[in-house]
């Protein structure tokens, strides 16, 4: 992992964590609740500085952060600056403030990205354009057939086909038309940044010349109508939230059913590895990765599990259903503490699995 990747990883992590906690901080201040501590990382504390009536701290466990407010555990409910004295709406906003901030970060990332020509993450680009000329794309080899002319010539999945017999191709349709026009195809491909020339014989299939590959378009840049971008970003955010929510539910169901960690789950080490890949692909890929992680962080935090925002929201909903009767603070705090320990165990298990994958 090079120096640039480390810097980008720290920057992404800081934006996501600080943004999430600033959401809680803003909601607390908005409701007139006293903020006692704003922490980066999880306790025990490394460093702390008191400013007026609040502590800013850096903590040993470098996963996440927290905002500690007066009355969060149900104490001092009679004080006007205690969270326990506030309305259900104010307490719900405080609980979900971090999630909302993560979604806001993702939305702003989408707006900026779309203005810079970033392809969508969860939607076919045709939904946002009126003319194919608005899309700059390349032809990506997705799969090479067994015993095919392409395989014999050395074409591999992941190659980008730049031209056929000197004719530039930017879409799968252009590729097929160029191949169909010749009995012998000379391809210029880009493989990991290096241009190669390959001569490929064609074969007939369903009345047309083919070389035995499955190709798709790799969208590089999209020219959106600039004033439509805020709306497109909102639509894309909703579709991204929906897609990731379905994926998270599937992962949780698989986790419960098999009692093992799915390969699709990545911890800090896995995220660092993915960050390195995004850095190699450029700024827009890093921005896409940031957006994806921000939505993931928001959705994971709203899962109704103890110690997560969703778990705290579940206790608030239970209190409302019971007509204002709260679960005893000692019981709720014990449940959240147990949940916190389970989350730590889960994080360490995922991190161990990520490290094993490196070898």
* Residues 114 and 61 placed together within one structural domain of the fold: yes
Phi, psi of 299 (to 5 degrees): -70, -40
User: How many structural domains compose the chain?
Assistant: 2
Question: Residue 261's pLDDT is what?
Answer: 65
The structure tokens listed for 245 are: 């929510």
Encoding tokens for residue 160?
Answer: 């980008």
End-to-end CA distance of the chain: 15
H or E element that contains 101 = helix 88-115
Query: In the predicted model, is pLDDT for residue 23 greater than 80?
Result: yes
159 & 105 share domain: no
* Structural domain that includes position 324: 3-124+227-357
- Identify the band that residue 237 occupies on the pLDDT scale cut at 50, 70 and 90: very high
Same domain, 91 and 196: no
Structure tokens at 100: 């909302």
What would the pLDDT profile of 25-72 be if each residue is shown by its tens digit? 999 999 999 999 998 887 889 999 998 889 999 988 776 788 999 988
Closest CA to 173 of 165, 184, 164: 164
Q: Is the pLDDT of residue 264 over 70?
A: no
Could you tell me if 253 and 232 lie in one domain?
yes
Helix axes of 268-281 and 283-301: crossing angle, nearest 10 degrees:
150
3-class DSSP state for residue 142? strand
Q: pLDDT for 92-137, tens place per residue?
A: 999 999 999 999 999 999 999 999 999 999 998 888 888 766 888 8
pLDDT of residue 286: 93
Residue 1 pLDDT: 62
Examine the domain organization and report whether 145 and 168 are in the same domain: yes
DSSP 211-280: -SEEEEEEEEEE---GGGHHHHHHHHHHHHHHHHHHHHHHHHHHHHHHSS--TT---HHHHHHHHHHHHH
Same domain, 204 and 349: no
Do 252 and 207 belong to one domain? no
Place of tokens 């934006």: 15
191 bridge partner residues: 194
Could you tell me if 301 and 353 lie in one domain? yes
- Which of 205, 222, 239 is at the close of a domain? 222
Chosen domain end from 173, 203, 222: 222
Neighbours of 84 (CB within 10 A): 19
pLDDT at residue 116, rounded to an integer: 94
Q: Is the pTM of this model over 0.85?
A: no
Q: What is the CATH number of the domain that holds 165?
A: 2.30.42.10
Give the pLDDT of residue 292: 95
Highest mean pLDDT among 93-107, 126-140, 156-170, 188-202: 93-107
């Amino acid at each position: 992992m090079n120096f640039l990747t480390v810097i980008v990883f720290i920057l992404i992590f800081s934006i996501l964590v600080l943004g999430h906690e600033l959401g809680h901080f803003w909601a607390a201040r908005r409701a007139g609740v006293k903020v006692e501590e704003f922490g980066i990382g999880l306790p025990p504390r490394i460093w702390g500085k008191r400013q007026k009536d609040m502590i800013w701290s850096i903590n040993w466990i470098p996963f996440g952060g927290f905002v500690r407010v007066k009355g969060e555990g149900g104490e001092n409910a009679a004080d006007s600056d205690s969270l326990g004295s506030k309305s259900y709406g104010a307490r719900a906003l405080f609980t979900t403030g971090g999630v909302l901030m993560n979604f806001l970060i993702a939305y702003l990332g989408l707006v900026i990205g779309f203005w810079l020509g970033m392809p969508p993450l969860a939607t076919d680009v045709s939904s946002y354009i009126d003319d194919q000329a608005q899309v700059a794309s390349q032809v990506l080899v997705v799969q090479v057939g067994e015993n095919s002319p392409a395989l014999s010539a050395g074409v591999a999945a992941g190659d980008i086909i730049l031209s056929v017999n000197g004719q530039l191709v930017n879409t799968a349709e252009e590729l097929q038309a160029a191949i169909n026009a010749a009995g012998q195809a000379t391809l210029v491909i880009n493989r990991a940044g290096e241009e190669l020339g390959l001569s490929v014989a064609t074969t007939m299939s369903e009345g047309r010349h083919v070389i035995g590959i499955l190709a798709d378009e790799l969208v590089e840049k999209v020219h959106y109508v600039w004033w439509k971008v805020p709306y497109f970003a909102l639509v894309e955010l909703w579709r991204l939230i929906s897609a990731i929510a379905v994926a998270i539910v599937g992962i949780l169901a698989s986790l419960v059913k098999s009692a093992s960690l799915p390969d699709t789950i990545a911890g800090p080490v896995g995220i660092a590895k993915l960050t390195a890949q995004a850095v190699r692909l450029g700024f827009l890929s890093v921005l896409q990765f940031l957006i994806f992680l921000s939505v993931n962080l928001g959705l994971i935090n709203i899962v109704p599990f103890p110690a997560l925002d969703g778990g705290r929201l579940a206790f608030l909903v239970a209190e409302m259903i019971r007509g204002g009767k709260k679960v005893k603070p000692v019981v709720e705090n014990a449940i959240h503490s147990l949940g916190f320990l389970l989350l730590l165990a889960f994080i360490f298990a995922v991190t161990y699995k990520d490290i094993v994958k490196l070898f």
